[in-house]
Structure 1
Amino acid sequence: MADLLRLLLRVAEKAANVARVCRQEAPLFQLLVQEKTGDDKNKKFVQDFKTLADVVIQEMIRHDVGAEFPEMASFIHGEESNKFENGLGESVTVTVCGTEDETAALLAAVLDGDRTAASLLAGAIHQDPASIDAHTDGLAVPLDPSQLGIWIDPIDATSQYIEGREEVLEEGHLFPSGLHCALVLIGVYLRSTGEPVMGVINQPFHHKDPSSGRWSGRHFWGVCCGSVRACSVARAPPSAGAPGLSAVLSSSEKQVVKDSLRSLCGPGRLALASGAGYKILCVIQGLADVYVLSEGSTFKWDSCAPHALLRALGGGVADLAAGLRSQPTELTYHRHHPPGDGEQRGAERWANHGGLVAYRDPAQLHTVIAALRGKL
């Protein structure tokens, strides 16, 4: 399964290249934005956008992983429908074809015949990235592909990706918004239990070269299965002498949650940020101790990959509502919620309806639960 991890790192970097190509070609980018409607619309936002970049990345990952691990092909799930409507009102099913030319021809149909733009995208899809030094040599994972499923979030924080605000990141600091919040997330789970066992996160827009204007990214990975716990991120030491917890929240979080956690955290240790994946990545990196969300506005594809990294570091992602009722339980990824409820449709079937707490230290999880119990 170290081979699967290396493959996921490679396809995540290919995905990052696609995301960067779409941002770098302004006329192309204007063609790519399409409002989500119906059952696929995220109800948290007044407007929620699907981009062709999302669909292309998702289908590219599905194609590449399915080709190398065919026993997993039927269990590779993503956020997006692969149906895309062009300017003529024609519905096109986006797939990755056998050759670059064939993929370019299909994408040209989506892009209203713009073969230049289609060729740029097809080139990024079919071009293998340079070798990725992931330090996975010697990693042995006792899993079989037939036991596994995958969740893909092709571009998490799509609104930040579309807005495209550029920030100069400083190591050790959390930045609330910007292109750096847009992440490629690939999470692997056990089909039998829904337990997240492997995750890859790619941050396509980490550093911009001042001379060329080109962006480069970085990646993170983690594996947690049985006795195997490995992660590309070192486990952060406790904040020596820092008062209270540090937490990251969504700007739209309920005021009662903000007030409760503000009293729990020390001065200046409650931050707001965009993107569910980015907020969990902040916890992974030790930029925040916890990420709390009281709404059911995240989905299995948002949390699966970073959840695996947190488990590798001794933490996790718990269902907030379950913790407030009785005991915290970890999120799982193998069945929709609530099971068998015919009223849940589209994306809502896969929402984390109870909210969540992402944490590195179980003691901090229980502290947060105790602070919020009786207030939600």
Structure 2
Amino acid sequence: MLGKVCGSLTKLQFCRKIYPTTRSSSNLSMSEPVILRVLASSVKIADRAGQIVRDIMAGGQLGIVEKTGKNDLQTEADRSAQNCIVASLQAQYPDLTVVGEEGEQDLSQVPAEWIVRDYEEKALSLNCTDDLSSAKMSDLTVWVDPLDGTAEYTQGLLDHVTVLIGLSLGSRAVAGVIHQPYWNYKNKGGPIGRTFYGLVGGGVVGLNPIPPPEGSRIVATTRSHGTGLIQQALEIIQADTVLRVGGAGHKVMLLMEGQAHAYVFPSPGCKKWDTCAPEAILHAMGGKLTDMKGQTYQYHSQVEHRNSDGVLATAKASDHAWYLDTIPQVLRYHTPGDYQCGQ
């Protein structure tokens, strides 16, 4: 049996000796860098969490509840996917620190079939820079958004939905896994779902980055009818096209796949579990994500969960400075709204 995830922060060493040595932990060489071992396991865990998300939708019992209001929802898929992710990481890495969006979860009844003990072998071959290869388990924090785009999930906008597992080393986002449970779901008879992952300095696996089109400016932002600062920012940068989509992971993916040049969100609605994985993968493929002031967010386990100064991300790191220079400080340094970045 597993214990509880206390609050949003789980220190997994409190649950050691709960599981016997698993197949993945015995097969993973201790000579492999810790960061690669955790990343390799997270890839397979994200796959399983995505299957749970699909199974719950197919069953029709979403179990929707409001967390802080009608714009901040939680479903049975959020809860169950987080249980799968946290319990699986706990089984393989008892000393790992995990921060999950859904807060306190009772893991005592997690089904055995949800506990992932496998790993993605390809992830172990990623190039690992010296600072990452020397990292210890105690240096890492895993940030989990088990279902990014919950509102879209309940509304049937399934291509906006992702499972996010981000890894930080100290304060830096350095690796991430993004799983799309409903990738290709409109293609009847075809494969459904995909997972890709990346390591800063090591590249990206499972996704071929595509540069955005030249000669235009396409900007992604919140689905909410942004007024005030958001609308002013969009007008000042003179976006040719504005993509109002859900899910922080989905918005950043638009940059990765060449469908948008920038993600502009001058609002404090996002949390660290929304941005850790996307930031790491975006940086691994040559993009850049910061707050609206151009400052890098910190991801150590004790940091405030809220991204208080919004999000500014660009497909090309070299474009990032233009948005900082063009959007006035009065908009970048004043973010009173609180839209949920998943909307």
TM-score strictly above 0.5 = yes
Question: CA shift at 1:239, angstroms?
Answer: 2.7
Instruction: Work out which of the residue numbers 60, 75, 78 in structure 2 matches 1:54.
Output: 78
Native 8 Å contact 1:254 1:294 kept in 2: no
| 1:294 aligns with one of 253, 266, 272 | 266
Distance 1:335 1:61 in 2: 17
1:185 is matched with 164
Which sections of structure 1, spanning at least 5 residues, go unmatched?
Answer: 84-92, 101-122, 165-177, 338-348
Give 1:369's aligned amino acid. Answer: L
Is 1:204 matched with 2:185?
no
Residue in structure 2 matching 1:249, options 212, 215, 221: 221
- Partner amino acid for 1:77? V
Match of 1:119 in 2: none
CA distance in 1, matches of 2:178, 2:65: 25
Given the alignment, which residue of 4, 10, 30 partners 2:44?
A: 10
Query: Per-residue deviation at 1:64?
Result: 1.2
Cα–Cα, structure 1 residues 149 and 50, in superposed 2: closer, same or farther, change >3 Å? same
Secondary structure, counterpart of 1:365 in structure 2: helix
Question: Given the two structures, how large is their TM-score scaled by the length of structure 2?
Answer: 0.76
| Cα distance, 1:69–1:335 mapped onto 2, change above 3 Å | closer
Matched position secondary structure for 1:270: strand
Task: Kindly indicate whether the alpha-carbon contact (under 8 Å) linking 2:140 and 2:169 is maintained by their aligned counterparts in 1.
Answer: yes
Three-state SS of the structure 2 residue aligned to 1:136 is helix
Q: Does 1:356 find its partner at 2:333?
A: no
Shift of 1:182: 1.1
**1:86-109 CA deviation, whole Å, 9 max, x = no partner?**
xxxxxxx34454x63xxxxxxxxx
- Name the stretch that deviates more: 359-368 or 194-203: 359-368
- Residues 292, 336 of structure 1: alpha-carbon distance in 2 compared, 3 angstrom cutoff: farther
Q: Is this contact kept in 2: 1:223–1:231, CA < 8 A?
A: yes
Higher Cα Rg, which structure: 1
Instruction: Give runs of aligned pairs for residues 1-376 of structure 1, distance below 5 A.
Output: 1-26=35-60, 28-29=61-62, 32-36=63-67, 41=68, 46-72=70-96, 75-83=97-105, 93-97=106-110, 100=112, 123=113, 125-126=114-115, 135-136=122-123, 138-141=125-128, 142=133, 143-164=135-156, 178-191=157-170, 194-208=171-185, 216-224=192-200, 228-232=201-205, 233-237=207-211, 239-240=213-214, 242-243=215-216, 245-252=217-224, 253-262=226-235, 264-265=237-238, 267=240, 269-320=241-292, 323=293, 328-334=294-300, 349-376=304-331
- Aligned Cα root-mean-square deviation (Å): 2.6
Q: How many residue pairs align between the two structures?
A: 290
Per the TM alignment, residue 356 of structure 1 is displaced from its structure 2 partner at its CA by: 1.2
User: How many Å apart are 1:185 and its aligned residue?
Assistant: 0.2
One-letter code aligned to 2:65: Q
Tell me the CA shift for residue 270 of structure 1. Answer: 2.1
Between the aligned partners of 2:188 and 2:70, the Cα distance in structure 1 is 38
C-alpha distance in 1 between matches for 2:175 and 2:82: 18
Aligned-pair CA distance for 1:208 = 2.6
Q: Determine the structure 1 residue equivalent to 2:22.
A: none
SS in 1 for 2:193: strand
Shift in CA distance, 375/220, structure 1 to aligned 2, threshold 3 Å: same
The normalised TM-score by structure 1 is 0.70
1:207 counterpart SS class: coil
Cα deviation digits, residues 58-93 of structure 1 (max 9, x gap):
122112112212221xx101001235xxxxxxxxx3
How far the C-alpha of 1:35 sits from its partner, in A, is 2.0
- Do the aligned residues in 2 keep the contact of 1:60 with 1:95 (CA within 8 Å)? no
Where in structure 2 are there 5+ consecutive unaligned residues?
1-34, 332-343
How far apart, in 2, do the equivalents of 1:12 and 1:316 lie?
24
Report deviation, 1:229: 2.8
Paired with 1:163 and 1:279, the residues of 2 have a C-alpha distance of 17
Which residue identity lines up with residue 317 of structure 2 in the other structure?
P
CA contact (8 A) 2:149 2:246 kept: yes
Q: Secondary structure, in 3 states, of the residue corresponding to 1:76?
A: strand
Distance 1:235 1:210 in 2: 22
**2:24 — aligned with what?**
none
What is the CA distance between 1:126 and its match in structure 2?
A: 4.6
- Deviation of residue 257 (structure 1)? 3.6
Paired-residue identity, %:
25
User: 2-side partners of 1:140 and 1:95: how far apart?
Assistant: 37
1:350 match: secondary structure: coil
Q: In the alignment, residue 197 of structure 1 is paired with which amino acid?
A: V
Q: CA deviation at 1:307?
A: 0.5
Contact kept? 1:257, 1:372, Cα under 8 Å: no
d(CA) in 2 for partners of 1:209 and 1:354? Answer: 36
Which letter does structure 2 place at the counterpart of 1:220?
A: F
What SS does the aligned partner of 2:278 have?
helix
